[in-house]
Structure formats: structure tokens, C-alpha cells
Amino acid sequence: MTRELFWLTLTVILTGLLWLPYVLNRVAVRGLGGAMANPSRNDKPHASWANRLMFAHDNAVENLIIFAPLVLILNAIDYSSKWTVLACAVYFWSRLAHAIVYGFGVPVLRTLTFTVGFCAQAVLALAIFKIL
């Protein structure tokens, strides 16, 4: 496994686990039966942090759709450099930080961590075209 694939794997695992805290909040607020029921306009609302974490999870999924193919393309063309490895590591940590600061409701840091992740994706795209 390349180092880029390692970071992709960690990112996939992180994205796959982000639903757990907000679903646990749903169970705490609505009970197990309410959490498993179909959504209704009359449902008790989640805690604010849980709502924000749902948005962070959606955003992580949306960005994984971009990050994963970039890493897989690099793997397919057998290209790796210190910059691609660093970009993948930075992407993972920026996504983790994004989920945390989004959950805590810190808007400026949320935007900054998202931007760092975007820049990491840009590095990977540039590497595919051997511009970097």
C-alpha cells in the first residue's frame, strides 16, 4: 500500500464514522424507536452540535468524491512524491479538524480547515498533470 492509499484509507474510515455521534444524539433525544422511525416534521430536534456534525458529514462525503479519485489516479499512473504524500496527510487532518470545529460551531476555523483540504486536493490534481 502506498502512503497516499494509506491516507485515503484513513479518510474513508473517518468519513464512515462521522455519523455515529449525531445518531447517538438522535437516540438520546428521540429514543431508539424514534431514531429508527421515518423522519417526521414533528420529530424532536437534534442538539445544535449534532445538526452541525450532520452537515460536516455531508461535506466530508461530498469532498471524498473528489479526493478519492485523485489518489486513485495517482496510484494508477504510479506517481508518488513527497508532495503527494504530504497533501494526502494534510487532507486527512484538515477533514478531521473540519468535523471537530464544525461540531463546535466555529465558523472561521471551519472555513479555513475546508480551504486547507481544498488546497491539498489541488496539489494532487497538479501532481497528476506533473505540474508539481
Residue at 82 is within a domain: yes
- Count Cβ atoms within 10 A of the Cβ of residue 120 and give its class: 0-12 exposed, 13-18 middle, 19 or more buried: buried
Residue at 43 is within a domain: no
What is the domain range of residue 23? 3-38+48-128
Residue at 115 is within a domain: yes
Residue 92 grid cell: 486527512
Q: How many domains does the chain have?
A: 1
pLDDT category at 10 given cuts 50, 70, 90 is very high
Q: Residue 16: which of 70, 67, 83, 61 has the closest Cα?
A: 61
Q: Is residue 132 over pLDDT 80?
A: no
CA distance 125 to 128: 5
CATH of the domain at 69: 1.20.120.550
Q: What is the pLDDT of residues 67-77, one digit of tens each?
A: 999 999 999 99
Residue at 104 is within a domain: yes
Residue at 9 is within a domain: yes
Residue at 110 is within a domain: yes
Q: Residue 106: which of 50, 62, 49 has the closest Cα?
A: 49
pLDDT category at 110 given cuts 50, 70, 90 is very high
| Backbone dihedral angles phi then psi of residue 104, each to the nearest 5 degrees | -80, -10
Residue whose C-alpha cell reads 478531521 in the numeric block: 96
In sequence order, the 6+-apart residues with CB closer than 8 A to the CB of 83 are: 123, 127, 132
This prediction's pTM: 0.94
